[in-house]
A and B are shown apart, each in its own frame.
Chain A
Amino acid sequence: KNQVEQSPQSLIILEGKNCTLQCNYTVSPFSNLRWYKQDTGRGPVSLTIMTFSENTKSNGRYTATLDADTKQSSLHITASQLSDSASYICVVSPYGNNRLAFGKGNQVVVIP
C-alpha cells in the first residue's frame, strides 16, 4: 500500500504562472514531512521540512503547507521559472523510524 499519494502526476505550466502540488499521506505518527526537488538526471534535493506542529514553510518561491489533521500537504510554486521543471517528491518520515515513505512525485514542466 502506498502511504504517500501525490497529485497531479504531471502538469505543464507557462513561465511566470503559479502552481500547487498536492500530497496526501497516511503515515502516522510522523516526525516530519519534506518536499524534495529532483532535476532530470540528478539526485533529489531537500526544499522544505515541516514537523507536525508547523503549518507553513517557505524557501524562496516555494511555499509548503501542512494540515496534520487531514494529513495533507501542498507545495506552491510562485512565478514559475524554466528551472522549476523537475519532479517534486513528497517524503514523510515516520516517528522513530529511519525508513522514509516516498510519494511517486509530481512532474512539472515549465514552458516559455
Chain B
Amino acid sequence: DVKVTQSSRYLVKRTGEKVFLECVQDMDHENMFWYRQDPGLGLRLIYFSYDVKMKEKGDIPEGYSVSREKKERFSLILESASTNQTSMYLCASRDAYSNQPQHFGDGTRLSIL
C-alpha cells in the first residue's frame, strides 16, 4: 500500500515566519504534488515535481516555493507566512508510468496568526 506521510497534522505559526511543510512517500513515485484545500474552493495546485530537482508552478504558486532533493521527499516552503495562507495543505504522489491515481497524505492544517 502506498503511504504518503506529511510531517505535521496541525501547525501554528506567526506572520512573517518561514514555514516548512514536509512530505515523504514510500513507493518510489516520480511525480509529487502540493495542494491547498479551502472551504468552497476545493483543491488547488500550488506546485508539482516530475522528478528529483524538477519543479513546475501550479495554479497558485505565489508566496510558496518547493524543494525536491531526494525522490521520496517533497517540501513546501512558505517564505514569509501570511494570514491568507491559513489552510489545509495536502501532498500527493503518483507513478508517472501507470494509470494509478494520485495518492494523498492526510494533510497539514496550518494556521498563521
Contact count band on A: 10 to 19
Contacts of A43 in B (CB 8 A): 4, 90, 92, 104-107
Q: Quick one: given A42-B106, A102-B42, are A49 and B101 in contact (CB under 8 Å)?
A: yes
Verify B40–A104 contact, CB threshold 8 A: yes
Q: How many A-B residue pairs lie within 8 Å, measured between CB atoms?
A: 41
Contact A102 B101 (CB under 8 A): no
A32: interface (CB < 8 Å): yes
User: Which listed residue, B90, B102, B106, touches A100 by the CB 8 Å rule?
Assistant: B102
Is B48's beta carbon under 8 Å from chain A? Answer: yes
**Whole-angstrom distance between the alpha carbons of A103 and B99 in the complex?**
20
A46 touches B101 (CB 8 A): yes
Chain A interface (Cβ < 8 Å from any Cβ of B): 32, 34, 36, 41-46, 49, 89, 98-100, 102-105
